[in-house]
Amino acid sequence: MALEDSWLEGVDVDAVLQDVREDDSQSWELRVLAGASIGIDPIGGFRAVLELGDAVERIVRGDDEGKRRLARILGRDGDDYQRCLWYTVAGRDPLTVATCFGELEKLMAARASMWVTASRGGLAPTKSDNPYWTTRPEGPPARFDERFELGEHWAPYLPAELLADE
């Protein structure tokens, strides 16, 4: 461990997420995504945000793979973190949602990096307790295929063949 990394001893990797959650100058969507991420495993949480953000970005780019990925994410077993993130911002402006997932990805990457650097150096970073009591979905998970409907506000970003039949 390098001496310049010693500040990571006891660092709370959730502090930035807490700051963003409380910052009125941030968008509501980013604030709630940051708040929902407090206490999540640093590495697993980063991977979860990467995966979900990639699906949303693909949808915004008009890539039909985006909806397939989103359907797989929302319908699989595991804790409810990704479902929490998606359903918290579902129905919001697509560009705002995509931008906020990009910003959350940066926050989660920095958080994971601090965690790994501290841990590898034999230091003990801290974080809030994981808010999820179980690694299984709470209640029935959604089951749908990639032809599920997104709100009409997503229509400018979807290939015509993926839009719901009227």
Q: Domain map of the chain by residue range?
A: 14-125+136-162
Q: Give residue 159's pLDDT band: very low, low, confident or very high (50, 70, 90).
A: low
Task: Check the CA dihedral 8-54-90-157 and report its sign.
Answer: positive
| DSSP annotation string for 16-39 | HHHHHHH-TTS-HHHHHHHHHHTT
What is the 3-class SS of 67-86, one letter each residue?
HHHHHHHHHCCCCCHHHHHH
Q: Are 117 and 39 in contact (CB under 8 A)?
A: no
Q: What is the pLDDT of residues 15-31, one digit of tens each?
A: 999 999 999 999 999 99
What is the pTM (predicted TM-score) of this model?
0.82
Instruction: Find, among 51, 29, 36, 47, the residue nearest to 103 by Cα.
Output: 29
Neighbours of 52 (CB within 10 A): 23
Q: What is the pLDDT of residues 33-91, one digit of tens each?
A: 999 999 999 999 999 999 999 999 999 998 989 989 999 998 887 778 999 999 999 98
- Hey, is 107 helix, strand or coil? helix
